[in-house]
Structure 1
Amino acid sequence: MHILLTGGTGLIGRQLCRLWLSQGHSLTVWSRKPEKVPTLCGAQVRGIARLEEIGQAPVDVLINLAGAPIADRLWTHRRKALLWSSRISLTETLLAWLESLEQKPRLMISGSAVGWYGDGGERELTEDSPPVSEDFASQLCIAWEETAQRAEALGMRVVLVRTGLVLSAEGGFLSRLRLPFKAGLGGPIGNGRQWMSWIHIDDQIALIDFLLHQNMASGPYNACAPKPVRNREFAKTLADVLHRPAFMPLPSFVLKVGLGELSLLLLGGQRVTPMRLLAAGFTFRFTDLRAALDDLSSRL
């Protein structure tokens, strides 16, 4: 199978490349720095700077994960424009290229996030739930999904992966918490009651591979463990795993002053259930937060 990836050099993309190389698939990564692709993704992975470089080799599946990190910097007008263009504009470029192909991929798996729902409060959210608020993160995910779904008009199946907080020792969410928690400065954010929908990186990779091989899969799938936790419980569990205290709460007003609109991402949350994955027969390896963090602790 020939698989084309965007975002292939990111945390999830790199691990997908390792898995699919081991399964014997042919992989191409569209990247701004194609010369780095073999080093980051595997020597047999081809990096391209332009989609036209693919040439005549038909693409069977398109994996669209590209997007600038949403929580790395303040949401200035310039940053918002970058977050938008790196997802929506890039996907529109993909659609224009797909339209030009005589033989189109049969499937697109496109990224999204549980932020699609907005701040859900105490509501339990499944794939059938509508967005409950429309902050910037929610608007971004909604527009990204709507753009990707336009590939259906080209005769392609489209799967949307609404990812929670990915737990990995190689980067992402935990890498930003590691230093303050190791220094004994970790603790809950705000009142600590907001829900956190998390997923171990191994389950994230496994579920994307699972969806790749489900011939009837389409539409949104919540990619998070079946047992979300409150922020206070997450902070306490991470501190316990690192053998540190967790008594330094970060007050809401400090976040609002320091981060502005971005603070909404940390003070809100989603209580998400992966209903469609469970119904399809996917088995999570990590359903308990403590077990997931214990598995990663030696590398943290």
Structure 2
Amino acid sequence: MKIAIAGGTGFVGKGLTNYFLENEHEVVILTRSEEKTSSHPRLSYVTWLKESAQPELALSGVDVVINLAGTSINSGRWTDEVKESILKSRVNTTKELLRIMKVMEPKPSTFINASAIGIYQTSEDATYREDSLNHGDDFLATTVSTWENLASEAESLGIRTVYTRFGIILGKDEGALPAIAMPYKLFAGGTVGTGRQWLSWIHWKDVVRAIDHCMNNTDIKGPVNLVSPHPLRMKEFGKTVADALNRPHWIPAPSFALKALLGEKSILVLEGQHVLPTVLQHTNFTFAYPTLKDALEDIYEE
């Protein structure tokens, strides 16, 4: 297959690119750089989001478009300026991809648009599957909802559209794990907030494999929760990280302190959702790292 990736140089994008190349696919990465080149025979870079750029001219024959582009939600404290960047970066890149796909002939068969489980309401008691309509009204939930609604316009072009709702993605040097693990490495880790909030997490390698699964399974469309089948409450999550690092779990981080430090962004660690990967399980996807113990053993052996 020929696959175009927007946001291909980020955490998930790099993993996807390597995976696709290893499996003999051709990968085109949309980039803002006008001089980026590749020595790999099946990897190329195409400039986009520049005034004179016409990326559609270089995307002939693309079978799948994957959109991972957007300012990271971890980009500093959520000031009004940062929140505007988080939303606008997603809206603008998705609009440009829609423009590109409208003029492409033939059109790609599949559009996979990144999303997040942050669309669901935070809750200590509810369980969310893809058909759950209890969406939140906080900044992250409204951003995700806006993003998915815009991406859905690809369906009117006859393109199968998938919204991959990412949970907390775990990797050794990128994603959420380094920040979670740091206090434990300093012998200062402990329960964050009440400890009852849910963390619906997933190993980065399972993210890559799940996206590939969605790409190749033509029965899949709409939202897909990319999370492990075994979410954990924060207290248990922290204890498992402590065990993996052979460190104590003892110094708590109270909610009021984190709210003072992080402001509105504290919702990412103080509140959560119990989310299940129902679509993946019903389409026979097999997790390589279904439990946190499995995931951490692999990550810290890398």
TM-score by length of structure 2 reads 0.93
Task: Describe how 1:126-141 pairs up with structure 2 within 5 A.
Answer: 126-141=129-144
1:90 correspondence with 2:88: no
Aligned to 1:153: 156
Partner of 1:239: 242
Is 2:169 aligned against 1:171? no
Tell whether the 8 Å contact from 2:31 to 2:45 is kept in structure 1 after alignment. Answer: yes
1:130-183, Cα deviation, whole Å (9 max, x unpaired): 134211011111111111111001111101101111111131111223332201
- Provide the residue aligned with 1:78 in structure 2: 81
Aligned residue number for residue 52 of structure 1 = 54
Secondary structure in structure 2 of the residue aligned to 1:13:
helix
Residues in 2 aligned to 1:139 and 1:264: alpha-carbon distance in whole angstroms: 14
Any unmatched runs of 5+ in structure 2?
A: none
Question: Are the aligned partners of 2:75 and 2:82 in contact in 1 as well (CA < 8 Å)?
Answer: no
Q: Report SS of the residue matched to 2:285.
A: coil
> Does structure 1 residue 104 correspond to structure 2 residue 107?
yes
Aligned mate of 1:113, from 106, 113, 116: 116
Q: In 2, Cα distance between the equivalents of 1:251 and 1:10? A: 32
Give the stretch that moved more between structures: 154-163 or 26-35: 26-35
* Code of the aligned partner of 1:55: L
Return the alpha-carbon distance in structure 1 between the equivalents of residues 215 and 231 of structure 2: 25
AA paired with 2:27?
L
The normalised TM-score by structure 1 is 0.94
Residues 122/37 of structure 1: CA separation in 2 closer, same or farther (3 Å cut): farther
How far does the alpha carbon of each residue in 1:40-73 deviate from its partner, in whole angstroms, 9 at most, with x for none? xx67421122262452522211001112110231
Confirm or deny: 8 A CA contact 1:124 1:273 kept in the other structure.
yes
Could you say what the CA RMSD is over the residues aligned between the two structures, in angstroms? 1.7
Shifted more, 193-202 versus 19-28: the winner is 19-28
Separation in 1, partners of 2:137, 2:178:
28
8 A Cα contact 1:131 1:138, kept in partner: no
Letter in 1 for 2:271: G
C-alpha contact (below 8 Å) 1:120/1:132 kept by paired residues: no
Partners of 1:201 and 1:183 in 2: CA distance: 24
Equivalent residue number for residue 285 of structure 2? 282
Contact 2:26 2:43 in 1 (8 A): yes
AA in 2 matched with 1:211: C
Counterpart secondary structure, 1:145: helix
Aligned residue for 1:161, secondary structure, equals strand
Q: Residues of 2 paired with 1:49 and 1:26: CA distance?
A: 17
SS at match of 2:54: helix
Q: Distance in 2 between matches of 1:256 and 1:187?
A: 17
Give the Cα–Cα distance (whole angstroms) in 2 for the partners of residues 202 and 73 of structure 1: 26
Letter in 2 for 1:49: T
Distance 1:162 1:37, change over 3 A: farther
Q: Secondary structure at the match of 1:29?
A: strand
Which deviations, in whole Å up to 9, do the C-alpha atoms of 1:223-254 show, x marking residues without a partner? 00111000001111101110111212111111
**Alpha-carbon distance change, 37 to 227 in structure 1, aligned in 2, over 3 angstroms:** farther
2:88 match: secondary structure: helix
The answer to whether the 8 Å contact 1:167/1:200 transfers is yes
Q: Distance in 2 between matches of 1:186 and 1:128?
A: 36
Aligned-pair CA distance for 1:107: 0.5
C-alpha distance 37-80 of structure 1, shift in aligned 2 (>3 A): farther
Alpha-carbon distance in 2 for matches of 1:59, 1:44: 13
Match of 2:218 in 1: 215
| 1:255 aligned onto 2:253 | no
Structure-2 change in CA distance of 1:293 and 1:36 (3 Å): farther
Tell me the distance in 2 between the aligned counterparts of 1:5 and 1:90: 12
